[in-house]
Structure 1
Amino acid sequence: MALTTIGFDADDTLWHNERFFRLTQARFEEMLAGHAEPAHLHESLLAAEKRNVGAYGFGVKGFTLSMIETAIEVSEGRVPATVIGEILAAGREMLAHPIELLPAARRAVEALSGQFRLVLVTKGDLLDQERKLAQSGLGELFDAVEIVSDKHAETYARVFSRHGTGPAEAMMVGNSLKSDVLPMLEAGGWGVHVPHEMTWALEHAPRPEGHPRFAELTDLGGLEALITRIG
């Protein structure tokens, strides 16, 4: 079947995101240095994020709440209010950080715009994702934007049926095997993995070796040629 629709993930596919979480986590470890070792803080924070993602969702706000919860936990309730204030300030800084596009992101989207229906499919906080898309300057190149609470096969079936001709004639491009590739393959579409140097631990998953609709690129610069070969 010919491709009619191309979906793009946003964070760490079109623009940098995880690096800001890592920088904030390093600051968090400094704030709590008197209460726990960095390794213990890292494990505790990751456990809190995993525990809370169903309630808080993905993104900066959930991350900030998980940092506060972890600070209270590792300090046995003795964390000073000033540190809580610093954590909240760090979260606000993340929400205001300017967008930095990844190499070849603009070129790839511009090259495909007009040839295919382009859909941005991203998880995270609604206001923050809208802000980042507006700052990216890519918004007008997309035919549709879907900001979802999570990404499953049913999500892609719904999105690509609503904005295209169904998942069988669609491709999803992203840095997360767990969220962007595996559920899209399950829905019957193409899943293209573009690895990022930093990927959140909760997004790791095994590669679908041998799957006929799986492809992997070093960067978005090779996307147009891949689509030409498929078509």
Structure 2
Amino acid sequence: MKLIAFDADDTLWVNEPNYVDVKQKLCELLSHHIDQDTLAERFYDAQIRNLNTFGYGAKSFILSMIETAIELTNGAITGTEIQQIIDVGRKLIDFPIDVLDGVHDVLEILSKKFDLMILTKGDLFDQESKIARSGLVHYFKHVEIVSEKNEQAYQRVLHRYNVQPADFLMIGNSLKSDILPVVHIGGRAIYIPYAVTWVHERVTDSQLVGKSFTTLTSVRELLDLL
């Protein structure tokens, strides 16, 4: 293999639980306006609607929270309440990075044998900040931050580094973003599930039929496999 790429959020460090926590705080702030189920549904709709405009990441999440609050209260939400939403959401910008168990040990060994890359999607500032705060960047020869992880994005990255799909391995926790696009272009992929997965990243069983990839339960298992 000429290049091994790792997803960042929920593959190298904890991420999604922070978003779940902020979403719950949003529900609490607006509980006197709307019921929780309706709020969750409308908030998800706003997130998906805004992906093409704001992309992924903390700032898009915060803007979707504000937009949802305004819509569900018919504009009755106060400036004070909007400020509370912003304050809660701001925690997503600089939360402490909790590196997952075994990651340091595995990267220490693999970085001496392979060219490693962080290949993540999201807001450039947001992802660069998390990568810097993680203390992991010295293990990686390359860092790529893309707006979306689809077949075209992977092909562009591989072309840039003059790597054929057969010589590329992607490791991540999202079947939709990290595994299936790589398999579709002829690359290899290792799926390491995380306890919490955003619903937008989930796939159906039918989408996995005939797809060849490896599933591990822990990043530590990479050493024996590779």
Deviations 1:176-213 (A, max 9, x none): 0000001011111012111110011100013524433x
Letter matched to residue 22 of structure 1 = V
Letter matched to residue 52 of structure 1 = N
- Whether the 8 Å CA contact 2:172–2:178 is kept in 1: the answer is yes
Could you tell which deviates more after superposition, 95-104 or 163-172?
163-172
122, 125, 144: which one aligns with 1:124: 122
Q: Which residue of 1 aligns with 2:12?
A: 14
Deviation at 1:166, TM superposition (A): 2.0
**SS of 1:121's equivalent?**
strand
Q: Which residue of 2 aligns with 1:222?
A: 221
Whole-angstrom CA distance in 1 between matches of 2:25 and 2:182: 36
Q: 1:104-123, aligned counterparts within 5 Å?
A: 104-123=102-121
Deviations 1:139-188 (A, max 9, x none): 01111100100011121122123235222111101110000001011111
CA RMSD of aligned residues (A): 1.2
- Residue 153 of structure 1 pairs with residue 151 of structure 2: yes
Deviation at 1:110, TM superposition (A): 1.6
- Residue 28 of structure 1 pairs with residue 26 of structure 2: yes
Give the structure-2-normalised TM-score: 0.95
Whole-angstrom CA distance in 1 between matches of 2:103 and 2:165: 23
Letter matched to residue 156 of structure 2 = R
**SS of 2:220's equivalent?**
helix
Q: 1:130-141, aligned counterparts within 5 Å?
A: 130-141=128-139
**SS of 2:8's equivalent?**
coil
**SS of 1:220's equivalent?**
coil
Q: Which residue of 2 aligns with 1:83?
A: 81
- Residue 211 of structure 1 pairs with residue 204 of structure 2: no
Whole-angstrom CA distance in 2 between matches of 1:164 and 1:220: 27
- Whether the 8 Å CA contact 1:4–1:164 is kept in 2: the answer is no
- Whether the 8 Å CA contact 1:119–1:163 is kept in 2: the answer is no
**SS of 2:12's equivalent?**
coil
1:114/1:160 CA distance change after superposition, 3 Å: farther
Letter matched to residue 91 of structure 2 = E
1:163/1:110 CA distance change after superposition, 3 Å: farther
Whole-angstrom CA distance in 1 between matches of 2:214 and 2:162: 21
Whole-angstrom CA distance in 1 between matches of 2:160 and 2:112: 18
Letter matched to residue 128 of structure 2 = E
Q: Which residue of 2 aligns with 1:63?
A: 61
Deviation at 1:114, TM superposition (A): 2.4
Q: Which runs of 5+ in 2 are unaligned?
A: none
Whole-angstrom CA distance in 2 between matches of 1:163 and 1:113: 17
- Whether the 8 Å CA contact 2:7–2:173 is kept in 1: the answer is yes
Give the structure-1-normalised TM-score: 0.93
Q: Which residue of 1 aligns with 2:49?
A: 51
**Number of matched pairs:** 224
- Whether the 8 Å CA contact 1:161–1:167 is kept in 2: the answer is no
Q: Which residue of 2 aligns with 1:5?
A: 3
Deviation at 1:126, TM superposition (A): 1.0
